[in-house]
Amino acid sequence: MFTKVTTRCHKMENLNHEPANKDEFTKLIEELSNNPDVFCKTQQRDETDISGEEKIKFLTDIFDKSKANFLSRFGRFLNADRINLFQQFEGDPKNGYELKFHLKHLTQSQSRSKKQLRNKRYAALKRLVDKGAYFSENEMMKRNPLLYEQLVGQYLSTKEKRLRDRLDYTDTNSLVGVLMNGIEKEQMEAKRRIQELEEDTEEEDTSDSDVDCHECPSGVSKISTGEEKPVHSLWGEFHEQDNKPIKPRPTTKDVDLLITSKERQLLREEFITTMYEHFLEGKDDDFDYNAVDNSDEYDNFEIITNDEEEKYFDSEEPEDVNMVVENNGNVKEESSEDELDIYMNALNQHPSVCQLSEDIKKL
């Protein structure tokens, strides 16, 4: 009986002191100790910062004593993944209730912060589209050359490519400008080659996982077509290999015969839409998101009328399909707009986007 009680107490103690993944919490505490905004109770903002070891010891002591108190004091500095690590301590009989309260509060707070972050980036996107330069065709091509080539570039004629490149030289009349333009093109080509290598690697990994690889006994062909045929050979004897002809990739001229002007326009719009989405998701490596995310400049920026943007961000799931009965008795199926449709419809109605589409049609 005494052994059972001791074991039960030991389990309860582990709920508060022995996390299942110690390494993750060690990294968490190290990250907090390196955060200049995290202050210990003995620190003042004007005082000299304490050493990293002292900070780690201070944070570790609070963590060991009370996970709830730790979350209360430092939870606002943690991301969602770090906060979720504390869910394993919800069963703590001593601090479990308080810990659940802080977890719920932090989750709700991060949800609001995430929405505000999206709103800020959307405002920045709208402003950049108004200015036109950052989301011009040439600039987007430089940022994602492989995607541009796949959706737009390979379908352009030689004349269209010359016109596109000529527009890129309008602001480079000086010798320095011409040299910089050449450097940017070299960087773009290098980036495209890297993207191609990464894409090929991903495709190889996917194909390798789909193939059922198994070890075959010696002397048996690796690829079987129903029955495994042993291959017998004598010393010094050579076998001819079945070399299948490699199909060449279709050239630009071949592709032009398979795609209409309307399809080209749809692919171009898909490219622009993808670049907008990458910007909102924080995937644009060339953009300084700190200038937007940590700025108050975009907080009260009017984005879209009639709360269209709010509908896009508030809706987590598409609405169900509604059945509408018309006056003549026919049943009409009406599919509600997806969140992305609402968002992109609002963007496509913007004057700058409309003007860009008109310019493209003239090419």
Position 154 scores a pLDDT of 92
**Whole-number Å distance between alpha carbons of 316 and 311:** 10
Q: Could you read off the pLDDT tens digit of each residue along the chain, which spans 363 residues?
A: 434 444 444 444 444 456 667 788 899 999 898 888 887 665 555 566 678 888 899 999 999 999 999 999 998 888 888 888 899 998 888 888 999 999 998 888 888 888 888 899 999 999 999 998 899 998 999 999 999 999 999 999 889 988 887 766 555 566 665 566 667 777 777 877 888 888 878 777 666 665 554 444 444 444 444 444 444 545 444 445 445 454 445 554 444 447 899 999 999 999 999 999 999 999 998 899 988 988 888 876 654 434 545 555 555 444 443 433 344 444 444 444 455 556 556 666 666 556 655 655 555
- For 322, the enclosing helix (H) or strand (E) is strand 322-325
Q: How many CA atoms lie within 13 A of 183 on its CB side?
A: 7
The sign of the torsion formed by the CA atoms of 224, 229, 235, 241 equals negative
Angle 98-38-81 from CA coordinates, rounded to 5°? 55
Residue of 123, 126, 172, 159 lying closest to 252 (CA atoms): 159
Q: What separation in angstroms does the CA of 208 have from each of 217, 220, 243?
A: 20, 21, 21
Position 345 scores a pLDDT of 65
**Residues whose CB is less than 8 angstroms from the CB of residue 155 and which lie 6 or more positions away in sequence, other chains included:** 252, 255, 256, 259, 264, 267
**Whole-number Å distance between alpha carbons of 201 and 247:** 20
Instruction: Tell me if the pTM is above 0.85.
Output: no
**Whole-number Å distance between alpha carbons of 193 and 216:** 37
